[in-house]
């Protein structure tokens, strides 16, 4: 299993050939998702047993049946949830990293990898206007980043006050579900900030705190820089000012929208992000990196380190290395893949300007799609898009009609565009991210609602 014999040689050729073909897909087709497990068993039954199988047979099972049963999130026709669009460069480097078994825990083991990752974190921190001292690590996703950051926020609050008190986190009703999960895990109660227009403002936060009457219980304020369902950026400047008045930790969840920091046309919407105590952005979303990759940054990483650093006698050696920067110290993890490296490679190959252009393309697509929607009398735009998300309704449609429309589009391999809900109503939603999504496709999708 670990030596290079004739079987290994054959596998190298056939697996790399498969990977090469996948990489060469341009554009990536959509493929289909959910299938009857019995159909998948036709090729997988009996493969896992005491005896091994010919690698080409196993690869054949993957290629013939399993791979086509996965909707390609990196297809320009994938317009649901939050799509992915990893660059070819990032995918290639991801393969290389997999082959190298890089253990990204510590400077002692992986200084080269961590140095490159930290350069990417610095680039993102600069875009956000965070101080030179800012730093952090890459984690698996926005959920892991939000959890790791709010663990620090809770500890900071606990250190400041008497024990046994309840702690809460002020958060908008449109914050991501991972924030709700995080609060449940940490046994922190939410103080929900109600808004007039789904956007948390300083005034809305202040009103919620005043109505609640227990400001000293607020350990943290969470703002969203790009809500998942609608792409709304909270008023980060005013919200951060109120958070500071409260003496609360200010966390910005930019898992989806944080990439907009690289888009000059909308950069002003993020003003105030420079006040964040912690900030998350997912490169596996709009910074065109492969799954899974989230950048987690702290204004003062030494605080995060005092919370997350794991102490064990066998780990003393990693903490005694000069010039150490141990990514493991900045989140809830120990062993970690050096998942910032594909982005590092791709950024270095293509340059930041190419990223800016690709992000601006998705913003333009959203604006053009909004105009197309407004030009059809059977459609109604729900709100002007801020980022790449467009919400709209088909007048007089029932929820079932949205589902039929979306199912038909997937069946015909036109697009993956599942409906969502807005203020309790089933509506349609584009999530633009892939820079190669053509406007003709957008028109076809809309015309199929006529």
Ligand X SMILES: Cc1ncc(COP(=O)(O)O)c(C=O)c1O
Q: Which residues pair with 296 in a beta bridge?
A: 137, 280
Supply the minimum distance, in Å, between the C-beta of residue 231 and ligand X: 10
CA distances from 401 to 31, 141, 410, 413 (A): 22, 33, 14, 18
**Is there binding between residue 228 and ligand X (CB under 6 A)?**
yes
**At a CB cut-off of 8 Å and minimum separation 6, what does 255 contact?**
141, 142, 145, 146, 176, 178, 226, 228, 280, 281, 282, 285, 294
**Is there binding between residue 118 and ligand X (CB under 6 A)?**
no
- Out of 87, 118, 148, 178, the residue judged to bind ligand X by CB under 6 A: 178
Span near ligand X by CB under 6 A; candidates 199-207, 252-260, 323-331, 436-444 = 252-260
Return the number of other C-beta atoms located less than 10 Å from residue 387's C-beta: 27
**Is there binding between residue 182 and ligand X (CB under 6 A)?**
no
Span near ligand X by CB under 6 A; candidates 24-32, 250-258, 307-315, 331-339 = 250-258
**Residue in this structure with the two tokens 């197309």, named with its chain if needed:** 372
Supply the minimum distance, in Å, between the C-beta of residue 226 and ligand X: 6
Q: Are the C-beta atoms of 102 and 110 separated by less than 8 Å?
A: yes
- Out of 294, 363, 409, 445, the residue judged to bind ligand X by CB under 6 A: 294
**Is there binding between residue 176 and ligand X (CB under 6 A)?**
yes
Of residues 260-289, which lie at the interface with ligand X (CB under 6 A)? 282
Contacts 24+ apart (CB under 8 A), 154-162: 154/186, 154/188, 154/219, 154/220, 155/306, 155/307, 156/219, 156/249, 156/303, 156/307, 157/219, 157/220, 157/248, 157/249, 158/219, 160/247, 161/216
How many residues sit in the footprint of ligand X (CB under 6 A)?
13
- Judged by beta carbon, residue 74 or residue 253, the one nearer ligand X is 253
Q: Prior bond to 94 cis, omega within 30?
A: no
**Is there binding between residue 255 and ligand X (CB under 6 A)?**
yes
Span near ligand X by CB under 6 A; candidates 101-109, 137-145, 323-331, 345-353 = 137-145
**Is there binding between residue 253 and ligand X (CB under 6 A)?**
yes
**Is there binding between residue 82 and ligand X (CB under 6 A)?**
yes
- Judged by beta carbon, residue 176 or residue 336, the one nearer ligand X is 176
Contacts with ligand X, residue ranges (CB under 6 A): 82, 141-143, 176, 178, 224, 228, 253, 255-256, 282, 294
């Amino acid at each position: 299993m670990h030596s290079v014999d004739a079987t290994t040689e054959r596998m190298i050729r056939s697996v790399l050939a498969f990977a090469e073909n996948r990489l060469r897909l341009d554009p990536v087709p959509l493929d289909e998702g959910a299938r009857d497990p019995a159909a998948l068993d036709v090729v997988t039954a009996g493969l896992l047993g005491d005896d091994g199988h010919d690698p080409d047979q196993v690869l054949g099972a993957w290629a013939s049946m399993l791979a086509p049963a996965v909707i390609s999130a990196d297809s320009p026709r994938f317009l649901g949830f939050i799509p992915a669009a990893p660059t070819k460069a990032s995918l290639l480097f991801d393969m290389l990293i997999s082959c190298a078994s890089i253990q990204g825990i510590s400077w002692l083991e992986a200084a080269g990898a961590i140095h490159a990752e930290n350069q990417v974190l610095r680039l993102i921190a600069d875009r956000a206007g965070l101080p030179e001292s800012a730093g952090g690590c890459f984690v698996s996703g926005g959920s892991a980043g939000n959890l790791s950051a709010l663990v620090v926020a809770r500890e900071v609050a606990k250190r400041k006050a008497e024990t046994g008190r309840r702690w809460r986190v002020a958060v908008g009703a449109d914050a991501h579900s991972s924030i709700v999960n995080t609060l449940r895990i940490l046994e922190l109660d939410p103080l929900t900030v109600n808004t007039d227009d789904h956007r948390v403002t300083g005034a809305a936060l202040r009103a919620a705190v005043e109505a609640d009457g227990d400001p000293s219980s607020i350990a943290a304020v969470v703002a969203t820089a790009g809500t998942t369902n609608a792409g709304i950026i909270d008023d980060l400047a005013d919200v951060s000012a109120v958070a500071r008045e409260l003496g609360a930790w200010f966390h910005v969840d930019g898992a989806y929208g944080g990439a907009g920091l690289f888009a000059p046309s909308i950069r002003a919407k993020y003003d105030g992000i420079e006040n964040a105590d912690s900030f998350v952005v997912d490169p596996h979303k709009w910074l065109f990196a492969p799954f899974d990759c989230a950048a987690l940054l702290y204004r003062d990483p030494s605080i995060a380190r005092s919370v997350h650093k794991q102490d064990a006698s066998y780990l003393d050696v990693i903490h005694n290395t000069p010039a150490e920067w141990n990514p493991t110290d900045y989140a809830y993890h120990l062993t970690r893949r050096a998942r910032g490296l594909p982005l590092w490679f791709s950024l270095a190959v293509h340059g930041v300007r190419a990223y800016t252009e690709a992000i601006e393309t998705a913003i333009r697509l959203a604006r053009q799609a909004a105009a197309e929607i407004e030009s059809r009398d059977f459609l109604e735009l729900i709100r002007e898009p801020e980022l790449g998300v467009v919400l709209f309704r088909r007048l007089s449609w029932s929820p079932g009609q949205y589902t039929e429309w979306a199912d038909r589009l997937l069946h015909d391999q036109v697009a993956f565009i599942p409906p969502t809900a807005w203020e309790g109503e089933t509506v349609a939603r584009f999530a633009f991210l892939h820079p190669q999504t053509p406007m003709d496709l957008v028109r076809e999708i809309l015309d199929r609602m006529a």
